Amino acid sequence: MNSVRNDAKRLLIYTISPAVLFVVWEICARAGFLDVRFFPAPSTIFYHLFFVSPEEGIVTDVIFSVYRIFAGYFAGCALGMMLGIGMGLSHLLRMAFYPLIIVTYPIPKIAILPLIMLIFGIGDLSKIVVVAIGSFFLVLMNTLHGVDSLAKIYYDVAAVYRISRRNFIFRIVIPGSLPSIFTGLKLAIGYSLVIVVAAEFSGADKGIGYLIWQSWETFSINSMYAGIFVIGVLGFIFSYTLDLLERRLVPWKDKK
């Protein structure tokens, strides 16, 4: 009960700084300090977003982008977590995969998009795959770091009490690495948004990225801002949900 109230309070506090920004922006736009051709007032953008964009099909765009993000994100995170834990626990797996990973990790995922589109076509699948690849690396690296930095004493306790392999993995290694895994999950969700929008700029006929690109081509500034605003809101919802999940699943870490 108490934690629900805290969550609501936190959500309220989180809206303060964006609200202040919008108010200042609105005032500047109306007072003529900003060129409204490039920086339309927030009230204009919101009006457009709620009354014009739905007519133009923004809801479909959002659904498509979110679907691509979720499919790619969950697949990439699941694989990243599994391989990260596997590599953390098995020397053989680490030796086999680590060289491959440190070579492929720094390649910008957008750089391989054309290749992915050649292989998986220009439909949803290529976007999902590129999001999955991006999430995979971030979660893998952070999971591996989490397993590696697990205190040695826990291995000793496990050895003294002859903890079974299964219990060792599920009750010691995974919970112990969870703070680090969450760092990966949070980085990956933000990165997934970036990737999906970039991927939709070219070779898509739906999606938020497509909407923004289309607005650029037709010089429809308000639609462009509507798209950008929706991305911001999605980013907020995703991060907030992950924060919430982290506080529930890692209650033993003191949080700010």
Partner 1 sequence: MYSDAACFFTRIENYNPDHVACLRMAISENFQISCSRLSKRFVNRGETLTAFEDISFQVRSGEFVCVLGPSGCGKTTLLRTIAGLETHTDGELVVKTSRADGNPDIGMVFQEQALFPWMTVYDNLAFVLGNNPDFLQAEIPSIVNEFLVKVGLEKFARYYPHQLSGGMKQRVSIARGFATRPEILLMDEPFVFLDFQTRLRLHELLLSLWQSFQKTVVFVTHDIEEAVLLAGRVIVMTARPGKIKKTIDINLDRPRDIFAIRHKKLFLGYIQTITELLKEEMQSLEIE
Binding site for partner 1 (CB under 8 A): 153-154, 156-157, 159-164, 167, 171-172, 175-176, 178, 250-252, 254
In whole angstroms, the minimum distance from the beta carbon of 238 to partner 1 comes to 24
Nearer to partner 1, 167 or 241 (CB): 167
In whole angstroms, the minimum distance from the beta carbon of 172 to partner 1 comes to 7
- Determine the Cα–Cα distance for residues 256 and 254; give it in Å rounded to an integer: 7
**b/e burial code for range 148-173 (CB count within 10 A of at least 16 → b):** eebeeeeeeebeeeebeeeebbeebb
In whole angstroms, the minimum distance from the beta carbon of 79 to partner 1 comes to 24
DSSP letters for 90-124? -HHHHHHHHHHHHHHTTS-GGGGHHHHHHHH-SSH
In whole angstroms, the minimum distance from the beta carbon of 149 to partner 1 comes to 13
In whole angstroms, the minimum distance from the beta carbon of 164 to partner 1 comes to 6
Contact indicator for 215, 53 with CB cutoff of 8 Å:
no
- Determine the Cα–Cα distance for residues 192 and 66; give it in Å rounded to an integer: 10
204: left (phi over 0), alpha (psi -120 to 50) or beta: beta
List the structure tokens of 246: 């982290």
Q: C-alpha 214: how far from its chain's center? A: 24
Nearer to partner 1, 176 or 235 (CB): 176
